[in-house]
Each structure stands twice: as structure tokens, then as C-alpha cells.
Amino acid sequence: MKRSALILLLAWGAASVNAQFGEKNAIYGANEFNIGGYAGVDISLNYVYDTRLAVRIGFSGNTRIAKTLPSDYSPGVVGILTLGANTPRDNFQSVHFTVGYIQKLSGSGIARVNLSIGLGYATTKVPYNWQKIDGFLTENYTWDYRRDHSMSFVLNPKFEFPFSRYWGLSISPMVEFYKGGTFFVVGIGHIFGLLRGSTTPEAVPSAEPVE
């Protein structure tokens, strides 16, 4: 009997702590598809304290047709049959850590913007040293790849729409300044997890007519 009472007491305490945690803290993931100078994906883990202070760690992987691609480049028969899958590409990846401040855009909290800045570590892989060859089945050029790594500065205002406590949508412009230039995309995706507290701001009572 005592053991059952102890188990019930511990379960009640854990539920109470969890409920209190959920009102002041939010932990959620985000998946976004990037469009802009590159195309790719962005995944992140987010933590928000007291609906205001935010911390985010994320990974972004992106690609585009190589900017230095020769004007007379041909993918060959193989490339045509594979819809250009063998075409040389510029690749940009980064791991980033940002901190931010969240501003509500609606009283209910279902629209908000996370104004975040931070640091990242960028990796680029670009083709160079183009050499023309006689190719028909395959490409008519050979090339090498050059990899570069550098620290980066990240600006990432993120518009979030937590329609429920556990799921929502996001639109996320991101600018990343790194040694080789500037990276810019706009991410569109969804957020999932513990997004916000269960309580919503109370409605302002309407004025009663004076008799």
C-alpha cells in the first residue's frame, strides 16, 4: 500500500514538473527546404525560454550548378539520360549556433519572429581546373574540386507559426558571411515538438453598457 502511494506521489510530481517546464520552456525541431542562391535543406534543434530568449543549433546542406561551368560544357549522353545528375556543382554546408530574441506578432502567440544571430563553420566544395576533352558518352570536360573551410557570421530572422502546441510552419531567410563570399537562401518548412505553453493570453473583457 505504501509502495503504491509512493509511486502515485512520484508520478504526480513528475507530471507537475513536466507541466511547469512546458509553460516556461520550448524545445522543438525544424525541417526546411532552402531556395535562393542555392537549393538544399536545413535542420535544427531549438530551445526557447520564457517565450523570449532562443538558442538554436543547426545544419545546412545546399547545392547549385557550378558558377564556373564553361559555356560550352556538355554532360554527354549519360548526363542527358540522367537529367544532368553528373553536372558539376557548387556545394555549401555549414553548422551554426545562434542566439535570438523572440517577438510575438499576434496576441495569441501563433505568429512570432525569432531575431537570431550567431556563428557558424562553413565548408564549400567547388569545381576548378577545367580541361576540355573529346567526350560524347560522358562530359566534354574534366575538373578538380577544391574544398575550403572557414568561420562564418550568421543572420537568421525566422518567422514561426505554431498553430498548435506541437506543430507549425516556418519561413526563414538566412544570410551567412564566410571567407569565400555570402550565402543567402530562404527556408520554408515546418516546426515540431514542444513549441509553446498550453495557456494563451486572456481576452480583454468588453466594456458593459452603462444603464
Beta-carbon contacts of 175 under 8 Å, excluding residues fewer than 6 positions away, are 154, 155, 156, 182, 183, 184
Beta strand segments in the chain, E = 25-36, 39-49, 53-65, 89-104, 112-132, 141-155, 158-161, 167-178, 181-194
- The pLDDT tens digits of the residues spanning 82-124 come to 888 889 999 999 999 999 999 999 887 789 999 999 999 999 9
4: amino acid identity, one letter: S
Instruction: Identify any residues that bridge with 56 across adjacent strands, giving them in sequence order.
Output: 46, 98
Tell the CATH topology of 24-194. Answer: Porin (2.40.160)
Separation of alpha carbons 69 and 206, rounded Å = 65
Separation of alpha carbons 178 and 122, rounded Å = 7
- The pLDDT tens digits of the residues spanning 51-72 come to 899 999 999 999 999 999 999 9
Q: Is the pLDDT of residue 2 over 60?
A: no
SS3 call for 138: coil
- Give mean pLDDT, residues 167-192: 96
SS3 call for 32: strand
- Give mean pLDDT, residues 43-51: 94
Predicted pLDDT of residue 23? 74
Predicted pLDDT of residue 191? 96
Predicted pLDDT of residue 186? 97
Q: Is the pLDDT of residue 12 over 60?
A: no
Predicted pLDDT of residue 21? 54
- Closest residue by Cα to residue 148 from 97, 98, 184, 94: 94
Separation of alpha carbons 31 and 35, rounded Å = 13
Predicted pLDDT of residue 46? 97
- The pLDDT tens digits of the residues spanning 136-177 come to 788 889 999 999 999 999 999 999 999 999 999 999 999 999
Sorted by where each begins, the domain ranges of the chain are 24-194
Q: How confident is the model at residue 18 (pLDDT cuts 50, 70, 90)?
A: very low
Please give, one letter per residue, the 3-state secondary structure of 55-82: EEEEEEEEEEECCCCCCCCCCHHHHHHC
Q: Is the pLDDT of residue 17 over 70?
A: no
Cβ distance 171 to 190 under 8 Å? no
Q: Is the pLDDT of residue 204 over 90?
A: no
